[in-house]
């Protein structure tokens, strides 16, 4: 027993000595990594673009705009290709004009410096998910980085497509960054709870999703995607596009199976009596129906022959009576979408001190009034 006591004492003493025999606190030596923080090379092929990016993104927002794809910054399970240089230049210009300059104007210059992403990473191709038949258009990673895909399909003459692929995606991903900083309001979480379907959202018909209070199919996948989609769509959709979406949200829907494929479902919103059809009625799509408003405001519908464009008549020569399908899903899609917008509006105001409608107005003004050639001069005029 004594032996162990001695051993313990000695061990403790040795340990104490060793502990006090610490290394001296010499200065750390030079980094083992080579210094690669060199100035931009004026002889570089991309000097003007690089300098513009430094001036407009890095120096102002501390943002690294990566247009030369780095596969280590992507999910390596996808097959991806880099962005085309000229497309990357255009997208960098438009991103600043339609996103950064908008927030700077509406929210002040500090807002994006505080909350904006630190990295924007451009990727030329989509990221395909073959099993679900979907593709990734954008990612917001860790509130720091936004990845934009499909850059090589940028067509600066087609704003609707640009909105869908890039600008809506940017606002969507930025909304994620914002709600990763300040959480989504509880009341938003409750609105459509139980209606999200993360596995089959891509198979849904978007107008039907509108009627269930979702602004897009993707919004019906998860609550947080719903939140980002409401913000992004509200900001980027034109008045006409937003009104059409609400019109769809107000409609009633019925589904039917086709004779060829009984598993398919077609969601229809008009019907007329047809003794030869199942349940004695046939369905008509929007394009087949003409809306007639009487002087008293009563609305009736006529069936239009899609080949001749004339009104379809019955055996007695009278126009076939067409009826609107009654909205029986028990969900007031318009009210829900408006409620979601209202929550987002308040969240922007209360949590961020931002006016969502002012943001929308600024984006709408800019996206309908831009001159690509003028924007490009920002790069070409760099000395």
Partner 1 sequence: MKKFLYITAVLATVALTSVSCKNEVDDLFDQSAAERVQSAVDEYTAVLTANGGKWVMEYFTTSKEPGYIYVFTFNADGSVVISGKNKWIGDVYKSEKSLWTMLSDNGPVLSLNSYNKVFHVFASPEDIPNETDEDPDETGYGHSGDYEFIFMEYTADVVRLKGKKYGASIYLRRLPADTDDKAYLGLIDDMKAKLFNSKFSKLYITNAQNERFVMTGGVNGVASFYPEAGDAITQTSSGNFIVTVDGIRFMNTVEIDHADPTAEPFRFTKFNYQEADGSLICADDNSTIITAAPFSELFADKNNTWTLTKAKITGNMLTLYNAVVSECKKKLKETFRYFQLYYSNDDQRFGLRFKSGNYYGIIFYNLNITEDNKATFTIDGSCAEGTEYYYNNLTSFKAFCDALQSTTWTVESDSRLVPSSIKFVSDNSADDSFTADL
Which parts of this chain interact with partner 1 (CB under 8 A)? 2-3, 6-7, 10, 13-14, 17-18, 21-24, 26, 32-34, 36, 41, 43-46, 67-72, 76, 78-85, 87-88, 124-130, 133, 135, 152
234 touches 242 (CB < 8 A): yes
Nearer to partner 1 (CB atom), residue 71 or residue 321: 71
Terminal Cα-to-Cα distance of the chain (whole angstroms): 85
- Closest CB 222 distance from partner 1, rounded Å: 22
Nearer to partner 1 (CB atom), residue 46 or residue 346: 46
123 touches 80 (CB < 8 A): yes
- Closest CB 90 distance from partner 1, rounded Å: 13
Nearer to partner 1 (CB atom), residue 6 or residue 276: 6
DSSP code, position 202: G
10 Å Cβ neighbour count for 361? 14
For residue 334, what are the β-bridge partners? none
Q: Is 108 left (phi over 0), alpha (psi -120 to 50) or beta?
A: left
Residue 249 token pair: 């949200």
For residue 65, what are the β-bridge partners? 120
Nearer to partner 1 (CB atom), residue 152 or residue 364: 152
Instruction: Give the integer Cα–Cα distance in Å for 144 and 117.
Output: 5
Nearer to partner 1 (CB atom), residue 136 or residue 325: 136
Nearer to partner 1 (CB atom), residue 104 or residue 217: 217
Nearer to partner 1 (CB atom), residue 46 or residue 364: 46
- Closest CB 77 distance from partner 1, rounded Å: 9
Residues 6+ apart with CB under 8 A from 119: 63, 64, 65, 66, 73, 144, 145, 146
Nearer to partner 1 (CB atom), residue 22 or residue 199: 22
- Closest CB 83 distance from partner 1, rounded Å: 6
For residue 319, what are the β-bridge partners? 313
Residue 2 token pair: 């004594």
Report CA Rg, the chain. 29
- Closest CB 71 distance from partner 1, rounded Å: 7
Nearer to partner 1 (CB atom), residue 130 or residue 309: 130
Instruction: Give the integer Cα–Cα distance in Å for 139 and 172.
Output: 9
- Closest CB 166 distance from partner 1, rounded Å: 16
- Closest CB 125 distance from partner 1, rounded Å: 5
148 touches 88 (CB < 8 A): no
CB-based burial, 75-108: b 16+ in 10 Å, e otherwise: eeebebebbbeebbbbbbbbbbbbbbebbbebbe
Length of the chain: 383
- Closest CB 21 distance from partner 1, rounded Å: 6
Residue 37 token pair: 């923080």
Spatial strand order of the sheet with 145-148 comes to 64-66, 119-122, 145-148, 138-141
- Closest CB 118 distance from partner 1, rounded Å: 20
155 touches 161 (CB < 8 A): yes
Instruction: Give the integer Cα–Cα distance in Å for 341 and 242.
Output: 12
- Closest CB 306 distance from partner 1, rounded Å: 24
Nearer to partner 1 (CB atom), residue 83 or residue 322: 83
């Amino acid at each position: 027993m004594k032996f162990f006591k001695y051993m313990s004492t000695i061990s403790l003493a040795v340990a104490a000595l060793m502990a006090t025999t610490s290394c001296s606190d010499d200065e750390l030596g030079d980094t083992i990594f080579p210094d690669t923080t060199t100035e931009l090379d004026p002889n570089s092929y991309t000097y003007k673009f690089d300098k513009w990016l430094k001036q407009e993104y890095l120096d102002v927002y501390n943002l690294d705009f990566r247009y030369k794809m780095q596969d280590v910054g992507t999910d390596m399970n996808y097959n991806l290709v880099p962005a085309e240089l000229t497309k990357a230049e255009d997208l960098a210009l438009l991103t600043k004009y339609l996103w950064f300059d908008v927030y700077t104007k509406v929210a002040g210059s500090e807002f994006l410096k505080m909350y904006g992403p630190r990295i924007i990473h451009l990727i030329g191709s989509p990221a395909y998910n073959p099993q679900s038949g979907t593709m990734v258009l954008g990612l917001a990673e860790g509130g720091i980085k936004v990845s934009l895909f499909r850059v090589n399909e940028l067509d600066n003459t087609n704003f609707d497509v640009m909105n869908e692929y890039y600008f809506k995606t940017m606002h969507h991903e930025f909304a994620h960054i914002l709600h990763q900083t300040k959480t989504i309001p509880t009341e938003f979480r409750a609105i459509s709870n139980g209606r999200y379907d993360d596995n089959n959202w891509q198979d849904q018909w978007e107008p039907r999703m509108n009627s269930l209070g979702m602004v897009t199919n993707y919004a019906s996948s998860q609550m947080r995607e719903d939140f980002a989609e409401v913000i992004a769509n509200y900001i980027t959709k034109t008045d006409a596009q937003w009104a059409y979406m609400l019109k769809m949200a107000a409609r009633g829907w019925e589904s039917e199976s086709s004779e060829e494929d009984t598993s398919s479902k077609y969601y229809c919103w008009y019907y007329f009596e047809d003794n030869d059809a199942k349940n004695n009625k046939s369905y008509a799509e929007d394009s087949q129906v003409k809306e007639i408003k009487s002087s008293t405001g009563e609305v009736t519908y006529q069936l239009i022959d899609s080949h001749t464009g004339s009104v379809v008549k019955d055996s007695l020569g009278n126009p076939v009576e067409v009826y609107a399908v009654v909205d029986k899903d028990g969900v007031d899609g318009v009210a829900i979408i408006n409620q979601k917008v209202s929550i987002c509006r308040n969240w922007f105001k209360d949590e961020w001190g931002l006016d969502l409608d002012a943001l929308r107005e600024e984006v709408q003004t800019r996206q309908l009034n831009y001159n690509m050639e003028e924007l490009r001069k920002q790069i070409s005029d760099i000395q």
